[in-house]
Each structure stands twice: as structure tokens, then as C-alpha cells.
């Protein structure tokens, strides 16, 4: 297991490095220069040249790459010319916000999805299953941005139950430093998290229902029932536990979404996270920020897969890799 883990970690580092290199090359190869100034203002040639010298974009690409890799090796992600600050500082502010939003959404997604899937499986082909099946299919077919706009319109603009955008009330809670402001943060989190979480939960519910029904046909379930195990024990101990394998894999694959999946929702709800940061950087060719975002996303992808594989191995002894392998 340890050797397997070492090999996986080494491969993961190589993959991340390859992604960073590819991103660096691609973003520089993309047509269009960096856009440091408003595009609707004429810019003096000398000023533009001085700017380029100042930020190092006048150097050949291999030189820029070598400098970037050398910085990266020392843990320096560089400076952002659009934000006029170190990229690490900008990421340090954006990442917790995205983690909060995506974490809340994933929690809703998996808890609600799991509960609905199990409930449907227990009521299979009865009215609740049919109603929930259609409802989840209906919601699953929503584009998330569209659902977000509808929630903003209905619950934000019309009913005014929830704020339409932002993380906190800037007058009452400029900082989240009290219980009142923590509640205010949750209040602002509700619509964006529901937008992401509901669509995800609808998908998870359908997967979970199918997995539960597949397990229900297995011999060991029949045996458990024949042995007189209670219905709840059969469901929780035998059926649900075995059906969790696909759930864990799905959860591992969802990990990168924690940082990257909420781009549109962050825009609709003015949520100051990684999605907004990366989108703005791509449009203005802020190379340092784009590459750092790719670095983070690729790290999470390989990490997500690693964790999923490890969890599956823990949950299913049949899949454990022999030590000598």
C-alpha cells in the first residue's frame, strides 16, 4: 500500500507540473496581449513599452518560463498585473470563499441526494418514488446559471427573503467577527449554495437510487433478510454500505469542483471566489493568476482521485492492493 501510494503521489506531481507547463504555454500562445489598461482608452506607445519592461513581458517566452518555474519552486506564485498584488494574496482571499460556497453546495448535494436516493429505493415504483424521480430529473435538467437567475428573481428581487448577491451586508457586517455576522453570511450563502446543491442533489439521488436497487438484488441481501435482520439493519448495514462505493467515487471526482465548479454562480451572486478571479484573469491575460488557478485545479483533480481511490480501497477490502504489488 505504501509503495502504491508513493507511486501515485509521484505520478500526481508529474501531472500537476505538466498541467502548469501546458497552461503557461497555452495562455501565452492565446491571441491577444495582456490588458493592463481599460481597453477603451488610447494608450501611449512609450507608456505601453515601459509597462511591458516593468512586468517582464518583453522577455522571450523561455526566459519568462524559466523565471516562473524558478519562482514556483520557491513557493512564489508571482505578481498579478491586474490586481497589483502578489497572486498568493489574491488566492488566499478567494479560496476560502469558494470553499465555503462549494463546500455548502456539496454538503447539500450529497446529504440530500443520498437521503432522496435511499428513500426512493425503499419506495421503489410507488407514488413517492415516481414523484421524486420526475422531480429530480426535472431539476437535474436545469442549467445551474438559469436556476440561479430564477432563485434571484423570485426569492431575492420579488419576495426579498434572501440577498440577491454578495457575501455579507457591508453596513452591518463588514467583517464576519460575531455570531450575528456569521448568520448574515449563511443568509447570503443560501441562494448560491442551493443553486449549486439542488442540481447536484438531483443527480446524486438518481445515482444512489440505482445503486441501492442494484444491491437489493444481491444474494447477500436476500440472505440477510432470511436470517431475520430488521429492514433498517438490511438497508443501513448491508445495502447502503455497499451502495456507497459509487457514491465515494463520485465524491472524489467532485473535489475539484470545490475550487473550479462555481464560476457562473459566483458571477451571478457576486461571490468573491476563485471562479471570478480566474475568469477576469483569463479575459485580461493575467498570466500569473491563470497559471496559479490551473495549478490549484490540477492539484485538486489528482488529489480528488487519490482520495477517492484510497477511500474505495478502505470501503471495499476486495479492491485493496496487496503489499507486495
Contact status: 116 vs other proteins (CB under 8 A):
yes
Q: Taking the CA atoms of 299, 300, 301 and 306 in sequence, report the sign of the dihedral they define.
A: positive
CA 189/CA 70 separation, integer angstroms: 39
Can residue 98 be called a binding residue for other proteins (CB under 8 A)?
no
Residues 12, 64, 246, 267: which binds other proteins (CB under 8 A)?
267
First to last CA, the chain: 8
What is the spatial distance between Cα 282 and Cα 78, in angstroms, rounded to a whole number?
Answer: 16
Q: Is 3 in the site for other proteins (CB under 8 A)?
A: no
Query: Can residue 146 be called a binding residue for other proteins (CB under 8 A)?
Result: no
Cα–Cα nearest to 247, from 87, 74, 121, 137: 121
In the set 9, 13, 236, 283, which binds other proteins (CB under 8 A)?
283
Please select the residue that binds other proteins; options are 73, 125, 127, 157, rule is CB under 8 A.
Answer: 157
**Total binding residues for other proteins by CB under 8 A?**
83
Query: Quick one: which of 274, 264, 98, 109 has its CA closest to 194?
Result: 109
Shortest distance (Å) from residue 108 CB to other proteins: 7
**276 lies in the site for other proteins, by CB under 8 A:** yes
Span interacting with other proteins, options 35-43, 119-127, 297-305, 315-323, rule CB under 8 A: 35-43
Pairing, β 79-80 against β 85-86? antiparallel
Least distance (Å) between residue 38 CB and other proteins: 6
State how far the Cα of 275 lies from the Cα of 281, in Å rounded to an integer: 10
Work out whether 202 is an interface residue with other proteins (CB under 8 A): yes
Cβ proximity to other proteins: between 161 and 220 the closer is: 161
CA distance 314 to 159: 47
The answer to whether residues 308 and 32 touch, using CB atoms and an 8 Å cutoff, is no
Interface with other proteins, residue 108, by CB under 8 A: yes
> Considering the complex, what minimum distance in angstroms separates the CB of residue 102 from other proteins?
16
At 152, is the secondary structure helix, strand, or coil?
Answer: helix
Window of 59-67, 69-77, 131-139, 243-251 that interacts with other proteins by CB under 8 A = 131-139
Please report how the helices 287-315 and 61-73 are oriented relative to each other, as an axis angle in degrees rounded to 10: 50
CB–CB of 156/163 below 8 Å?
A: yes
Shortest distance in whole angstroms from residue 64 CB to other proteins: 17
Told to check if 94 binds other proteins by CB under 8 A, we report: yes
Q: Is 253 in the site for other proteins (CB under 8 A)?
A: no
At 106, give phi and psi (nearest 5°).
-65, -40
d(CA 66, CA 44): 30
- Closer residue to other proteins (CB): 181 or 303: 181
Q: Does 177 bind other proteins (CB under 8 A)?
A: no
Which helix H or strand E contains 173, and what residues bound it?
A: none
Q: Which is nearer to other proteins, 118 or 277 (CB)?
A: 277
Task: Report the site for other proteins in 61-90 (rule: CB under 8 A).
Answer: 79, 81-86, 90
Tell the smallest beta-carbon distance from residue 261 to other proteins (Å): 16
Which CB, 22 or 283, lies closer to other proteins?
283
Amino acid at each position: 500500500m505504501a509503495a502504491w501510494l508513493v507511486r501515485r503521489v509521484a505520478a500526481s506531481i508529474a501531472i500537476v507540473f505538466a498541467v502548469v507547463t501546458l497552461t503557461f504555454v497555452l495562455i501565452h500562445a492565446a491571441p491577444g496581449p495582456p490588458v493592463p489598461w481599460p481597453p477603451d482608452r488610447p494608450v501611449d506607445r512609450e507608456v505601453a513599452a515601459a509597462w511591458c519592461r516593468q512586468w517582464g513581458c518583453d522577455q522571450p517566452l523561455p526566459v519568462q518560463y524559466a523565471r516562473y518555474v524558478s519562482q514556483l519552486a520557491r513557493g512564489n506564485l508571482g505578481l498579478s498585473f491586474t490586481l497589483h498584488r502578489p497572486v498568493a494574496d489574491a488566492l488566499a482571499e478567494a479560496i476560502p470563499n469558494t470553499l465555503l460556497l462549494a463546500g455548502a453546495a456539496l454538503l447539500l448535494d450529497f446529504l440530500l441526494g443520498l437521503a432522496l436516493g435511499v428513500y426512493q429505493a425503499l419506495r421503489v415504483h410507488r407514488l413517492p418514488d415516481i414523484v421524486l424521480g420526475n422531480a429530480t430529473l426535472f431539476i437535474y435538467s436545469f442549467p445551474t446559471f438559469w436556476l440561479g437567475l430564477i432563485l434571484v428573481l423570485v426569492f431575492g428581487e420579488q419576495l426579498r427573503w434572501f440577498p440577491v448577491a454578495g457575501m455579507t451586508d457591508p453596513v452591518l457586517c463588514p467583517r464576519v467577527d460575531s455570531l450575528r455576522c456569521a448568520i448574515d453570511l449563511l443568509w447570503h450563502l443560501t441562494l448560491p449554495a442551493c443553486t449549486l446543491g439542488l442540481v447536484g442533489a438531483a443527480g446524486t439521488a438518481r445515482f444512489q437510487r440505482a445503486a441501492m436497487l442494484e444491491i437489493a438484488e444481491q444474494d447477500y441481501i436476500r440472505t440477510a433478510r432470511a436470517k431475520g435482520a430488521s429492514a433498517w439493519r438490511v438497508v443501513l448495514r448491508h445495502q447502503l454500505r455497499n451502495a456507497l462505493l459509487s457514491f465515494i467515487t463520485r465524491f472524489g471526482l467532485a473535489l475539484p469542483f470545490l475550487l473550479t465548479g462555481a464560476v457562473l454562480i459566483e458571477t451571478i451572486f457576486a461571490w468573491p471566489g476563485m471562479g471570478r478571479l480566474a475568469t477576469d484573469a483569463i479575459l485580461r491575460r493575467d498570466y500569473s493568476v491563470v497559471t496559479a488557478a490551473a495549478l490549484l485545479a490540477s492539484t485538486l483533480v489528482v488529489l480528488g482521485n487519490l482520495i477517492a481511490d484510497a477511500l474505495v480501497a478502505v470501503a471495499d477490502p476486495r479492491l485493496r492492493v496487496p503489499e507486495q504489488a
